[in-house]
Amino acid sequence: MNRQREAGLTLVELLVALAILALIATLISNAMAIGAAGTETVDRRAEWADELRLGQSTIRRHLAEARPVRWPDGRRSVIAFDGNADSVSFISVVPAWPGAAGLYLVRFQLVGGELVMTRRITAGESPEFAFDRHSERRVLATGVSTLRFAYFGTDDPRQPAGWSDRWHQRSRLPSLVSLNIAYADPAKGRWPTLTVAPVLDAQPR
């Protein structure tokens, strides 16, 4: 009788131990899953931070080096700069590294949810922003829902400057160019507003 009771108690203890082990295994598995999700979130945020840093630095560098090249337009000449709310095209100086140095046609625009930079080397003489299959194309940001450029300045120094979503066929470069970007993914949020001042003023008339 005592032996049966001892055997019964041992079986109960074994079942309790197995239940405890199963609980511990579940807790460890959940902890590992949470840790992996946390690591994935950190990795994604690091990727977003890199995308933001590289994207803004690329745009800032090119816009700051925008050149006030003049193109003929009938009886007058206009600055080679075409700015809209969703895109901007201009001529900029690109350093020698990593590609060839010189004047480049540059365009930033939203294409299918991607912020894209397109550029190609130019002599600056042809009065158009023409890109072909040989042009360099680089994606600076993905998953973009809205993109908005704005331009600050005036053609006439005697008139007050103001913000506009269009800068086309003007006599000088804008004093400032701003860019706002929002992502489709709420977790990524928005870019901090980027504001760039071209370093050169318009050439003398």
pLDDT for residue 123: 86
Residue of higher predicted confidence among 112 and 99: 112
The model's confidence at residue 186, banded by pLDDT at 50, 70 and 90, is confident
pLDDT digits (tens, 9 = 90+) for 86-111: 999 999 998 755 666 789 999 999 99
pLDDT attached to residue 120 = 93
The predicted structure's pLDDT at residue 204: 42
For the stretch 124-152, what's the b/e string if a residue is b when 16 or more beta carbons lie within 10 angstroms of its beta carbon? beeeebebeeeeeeeebbeebeebebbbb
- What pLDDT sits at residue 203? 44
- Main-chain dihedrals φ then ψ at residue 45, nearest 5 degrees: -65, -35
Q: What's the distance, Cα to Cα, between the start and end of the chain in Å?
A: 115
CB 124 within 8 A of CB 67: yes
Mean pLDDT over 154-162 rounds to 88
Q: Which residue has the higher pLDDT, 9 or 83?
A: 83
DSSP label at residue 76: E
119-134 per-position pLDDT tens digit:
999 988 888 899 988 8
pLDDT at residue 37, as a whole number: 61
Percent of the chain with pLDDT over 70: 85
pLDDT at 9: 59
pLDDT at position 60 is 95
- Residue-wise pLDDT for 13-48, tens only, equals 777 778 888 888 888 888 777 766 666 655 666 788
Q: Residue 156: what pLDDT?
A: 84
Average pLDDT, the chain: 85
Cβ-Cβ contacts under 8 Å for 50 (sequence gap 6 or more): none
Q: With H, G, I as helix, E, B as strand and everything else as coil, classify residue 159.
A: coil
- Stretch 185-200: mean pLDDT: 90
Q: Is pLDDT of 76 > 90?
A: no
- Residue 93: closest CA among 104, 82, 108, 107: 104
Mean pLDDT score, 166-179: 94
